[in-house]
Amino acid sequence: IPDISVLYENSEFILVDKKPGMAVHSGNAGGTGAGCSAADESGTLINHIKAYLWRRGEYRPDEERSFAPALCNRIDRNTGGIVIAAKTAEALRRINEEIRRGEVTKKYLCAVHGKMEKSSGRLTGWMEKDSEHNIVRVYSGQRKTSHGKTMITDYRVLAEQNGLSLLEVTLLTGRTHQIRVHFSSIGHPLCGDPMYGANPVLSEALGLDRQWLHAMKLEFRHPRTRVWTTVRSQYPADLAAALDA
């Protein structure tokens, strides 16, 4: 039975509210990334989307030339929020092109340790992924190797309390663990994220067993009509409870 919450849908693509704890696709058995092991593939977000569209007669895998619905963006297993899936090959091409050109605005909410030095700002740097340990390292200044990729992250402080800061974050690049590693690199790890330096005692006190991070809003032009579309997702109860702890 499909287990998805649909936020927006038309004949070309669908935006869903991914639950934290659900992998978006198979692969990456490490557990903290976007994927899962092949054995758990049936419970992935993309398979739930396929089941949903199959029940509606929009996905026909038995037909030779049937297009398999495909994800246009990905978020970590333990992060909830908005994910786009294309229903057609043309929609996939157009949305991916918009993402490549920076025409899709991706906004997140996160809670970090400490008080930010500025009420808003831009973080820049280079990232390198250690695939063996599924961890990302970020560097400032000159790129360390030819494998380094640019990271650009904008933020705005929404609230501060009890030694924590609630931020609205806009991704200008979409790298693995970008928000988590970028704020950790400046001494403000995300609450509940021990992989990147969060205080485990505080995480327990806040009732968190995952990073405080939510993909809350996507803004984009409809790839065919060019009408601006905004889709929002409310952060779930465990994150809300941590703010009130």
Catalytic residues: 76
Q: Which residues contact 223 (CB under 8 A, 6 or more apart)?
A: 12, 13, 91, 94, 95, 97, 98
Q: Is 134 helix (H, G, I), strand (E, B) or coil?
A: coil
Round to whole Å and give the CA distance between 94 and 164. 39
Residues 197-202: contacts with CB within 8 Å, 24+ apart?
A: 198/113, 199/113, 202/113
Count of alpha carbons within 13 Å of 150, Cβ hemisphere only? 5
27-49 residues labelled b (16+ CB within 10 A) or e (exposed):
ebeeebbbbbeeeeeeebbbbbb
Q: Which two tokens stand for residue 43?
A: 């419970």
Residues forming a β-bridge with 159: 166
Count of alpha carbons within 13 Å of 86, Cβ hemisphere only? 20
